[in-house]
Structure 1
Amino acid sequence: MKKAVLIIAVVALAAVIIVVNVNRKKTGVEAIVWYGMMPHPYKTEVRSGVERFELETGLRVLKVVGQQWTQDNENVNVEALSTKDHKAFSIYPGDPAGANALFGQLKSRGQLVVAYGAEPGLPTPVPFTVATDIKAAAMTAADKLIDLMGGRGRILNVLELVTDINTKKRDDGIREVVAGHPGVEIIQTISDMTQVSEATVKIQSALAARMNEIDGMITTGYNPTIAAASVLTEWHKDPSHKRIRFIGIDTGATVIQAIRDGAIDATIAQNPPGHGYISCMLLKLLLDGWTPIRDYQFIDAGIVIVTKDNLETYASDVRKITDGIAADLKTRYLRSPK
């Protein structure tokens, strides 16, 4: 009798262990993965939007950051993640064509993908990209700079990563705007800056070589914008230096302080938190059975030009853009489940 009771107890305990393990497996694997290519201030801001999504929905997202800003590194990391029962991925495309190959593999396995931050090559296997309209934003910045310059003058064009698929779009946009103003020219373009320190040296060198020729400067990447804000803050302390009009992109503390102090004119506030929040919200809705109204849709996450006049309000303006897009997802971009 005791032996029978012992056997029953052991069997019951084993069943409990099995149930617990199964439940752990079910709850331990996040349905959604957010992938950032490598540590970078932009990725940190995108991640904050992912964290807001988690807080508001109660869903956990696996947040993974790679080691290099290359498609090869992204492929290795994401392909490994794709074998671990995750259902959906929010991914920054490192290379237009290479990213599509990765996205196609994930789709063939029944896994959902939304691109954020940059648009992959078209056509693409993904149903959505959530990003800044890169070329349009650069054109807006260039128009603002030319206005600050009084409609004429020479521009130092400062680009960031030549390996980033957004860099060429930004450069193309700037050049298109400049071509429409006969009194404006790009006097020099400098590029390939992966660190603020590297950008600082290159900008200082350009100013030293062409200090009397440069009337305006435009930067279209985070690192060169931070560097330029610091360099121009020091530059404009010297009354013998000419005033160089400036617009950058992104809103690091150094940039905001330089605008507040009057050392630089303006910057473009992108919406990286929206890139993270909206891409994850789309994935959640797709997992819930909502379907895209078209095979592919680009969702412009919006920008705000930041000057001394709106320093205290631009962040809430950016948040309002995100909230407006999120409110429209079910009516503008998706069909309800059948």
Structure 2
Amino acid sequence: MHDNGSQNLKRRKSRAALSNAAGRFDLGREEVDDGWHQEEAVTSVATEIRCEMARSLISYNRSPDLPFDRSINPYRGCEHGCIYCFARPSHAYLGLSPGLDFETRLVARPNAPEVLRKELSARSYKVATLAIGTNTDPYQPCERDHGIMRACLEVLREFNHPVAIVTKGTLIERDIDILSDMAARGLVRVGVSVTTLDADLSRRMEPRVPVPARRLATIKRLSDAGIPVRIMTSPLVPGLTDHELEALLAAGVEAGADAASWIMLRLPREVSGLWQDWLQEHEPGRAEKVMARLREMHGGRDYDPRWGQRMRGEGEYAEVIARRFKLACARLGLAERAEPLRSDLFAKPAQAGDQLSLFG
């Protein structure tokens, strides 16, 4: 079993990570039995949410292999707990573990809508599609109580600002009223990630994500409301879910998706150890094959962070997957590239104290 800093790996109920190894910037932690408590160790971990007042919200990137240059994150960490999540290492910057802490010690940013409004109102701001959900899911369970994502959507609608949303959460259906209004003006597109059609595998790999059938139902409800939806078969796991690629795309089409995308499993930094521990616990018979395929695509390493390689890998296997995806999309009528969202409608609404036009 991979040694990621935890000596005693225990399965936690409804959690994917088996350990809580220290992050890169933490001093370290280790669970020990001090002999005081005689009962069995607690196997469930409660979710803790603390609030953080954001100083800024929009993050910019210059990555040539990303289709957007800006994004926002209403939350840090994600209770969905997908074991493969490439965003797990970001929790280390908070002095927390990319393991269980990422799933259980979350940060909500309640002033995000106000900060977003301020940043969009700046004279220097130039409009372009804003991505939400590219790091942590804006529709994870805590959004039901905090409503930060919905408040941010209200701001974006007020500014006629284009937005692309990625989620696994069915809570997005709550916001169909806002999204359908924006979709009618060409201002929104949603991507729903469905990694497998196997409900048992999904439960183990993505413990607090709605089951695949429920996510497909969300695609249908969004599509029926006139909201364009992309099915995202991401991440594709070699030797574990790759055989489902065509079936996933077909299920997406049946649900109403008009576009599709795929990304190969990515294992940056601490994710590799967490993933390998999960494989040994849940899929020991396939672990060697899965890792061999990944290393084959990344020059013998678990992960290659180079732009242009990190999303898909390279080599014969990666090329076969790309061909299968392209052929299936052509057969099913799925677009690989969606039409760009409108930016020409963007307008900064009048604010209190603005000088009124003499001519109305």
Normalising by structure 2, what TM-score? 0.31
Structure number with the higher helix fraction is 1
Normalising by structure 1, what TM-score? 0.33
